[in-house]
């Protein structure tokens, strides 16, 4: 991860500027770039025909009003769905609302997101979370490594890093792309200790904000080992102050513009 300056954590847009725009849509990521986000965070799942798409939930009930699993659908089927209407359900009734490019509201492939980042006018990093459990198991990490390699983004200094709650998934990525930075996500105070026999010393710790709030002594112990901290999901000034107090290297937020404004 590139340094942001002394005391300045990297601001990572969680699923894009997802407080304002529908998560994981191209519209949310374009907004995050315009907001000045240092990095973009996404979750990836594999479609039935082998495409990595940026979707958090295993099903589409919440984001596309479909009682189907992402893993059971082909990309062409997903492309027919609106992934943004749920965010602003009354938008069609607003006569003064600006016209929206519907391509910004469709399912987003990881490749399209990476192309957007690669073509941007400044360096932007990407934090990619692989979701588990999944019916495709290790195929997700293999496809991810292949995709990043196609962009030349598996070498040291890559703008991409991989995150997961699964240490098994991170070990897969390490075998496939040994130079990528890896973030072990945690939502339990026992997770870090239980992962130690299987983890590697350079893994970044990714605690949830609640873990930071309720178990600060655990976070301090992790920091004392020289391990960097990437914390999710940081949305208020008080949350950000707590992260600054603990020397957090990256804050993952639904509100990148607001967090950047507070930092600056």
Q: Known catalytic residue: 14?
A: yes
230 is an active site residue: no
Cα–Cα distance for residue pair 28/221, rounded to 1 Å: 35
Annotated catalytic residue within 14, 24, 51, 230 = 14
Q: Which helix (H) or strand (E) holds 149?
A: helix 139-150
Q: How many CA atoms lie within 13 A of 196 on its CB side?
A: 8
Could you say which of 24, 51, 56, 88 is catalytic? 56
Q: Rounded to whole angstroms, what are the CA distances from 171 to 63, 168, 181, 228, 255? A: 31, 5, 12, 18, 31
* 50 Rama sector, left if φ>0, alpha if ψ -120 to 50, beta otherwise: left
3-class secondary structure, 123: coil
Distance of CA 205 to the CA centre of its chain: 14
Known catalytic residues are 14, 56
């Amino acid at each position: 991860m590139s340094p942001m300056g002394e005391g300045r954590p990297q601001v990572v847009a969680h699923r894009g500027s997802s407080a304002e725009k529908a998560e994981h849509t191209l519209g949310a990521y374009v907004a995050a770039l315009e907001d000045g986000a240092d990095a973009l965070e996404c979750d990836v799942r594999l479609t039935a025909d082998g495409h990595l798409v940026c979707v958090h939930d295993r099903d589409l009930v919440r984001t596309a009003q479909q009682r189907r699993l992402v893993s059971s659908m082909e990309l062409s089927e997903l492309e027919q769905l609106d992934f943004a209407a749920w965010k602003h359900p009354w938008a069609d009734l607003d006569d003064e609302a600006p016209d929206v490019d519907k391509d910004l509201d469709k399912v987003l492939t990881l490749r399209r997101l990476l192309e957007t980042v690669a073509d941007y006018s400044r360096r932007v990093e990407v934090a990619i979370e692989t979701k588990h459990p999944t019916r495709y198991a290790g195929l997700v990490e293999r496809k991810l490594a292949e995709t990043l390699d196609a962009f030349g983004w598996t070498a040291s200094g890559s703008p991409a890093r991989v995150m997961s709650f699964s240490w098994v998934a991170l070990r897969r990525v390490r075998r496939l792309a040994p130079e990528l930075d890896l973030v072990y996500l945690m939502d339990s105070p026992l997770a870090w200790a239980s992962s130690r026999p299987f983890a590697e010393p350079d893994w970044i710790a990714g605690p949830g904000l609640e873990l930071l709030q309720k178990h600060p002594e655990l976070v301090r112990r992790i920091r004392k080992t020289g391990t960097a901290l990437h914390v999710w999901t940081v949305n208020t000034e008080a949350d950000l102050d707590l992260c600054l107090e603990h020397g957090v290297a990256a804050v993952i937020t639904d509100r990148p513009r607001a967090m950047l404004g507070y930092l600056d």
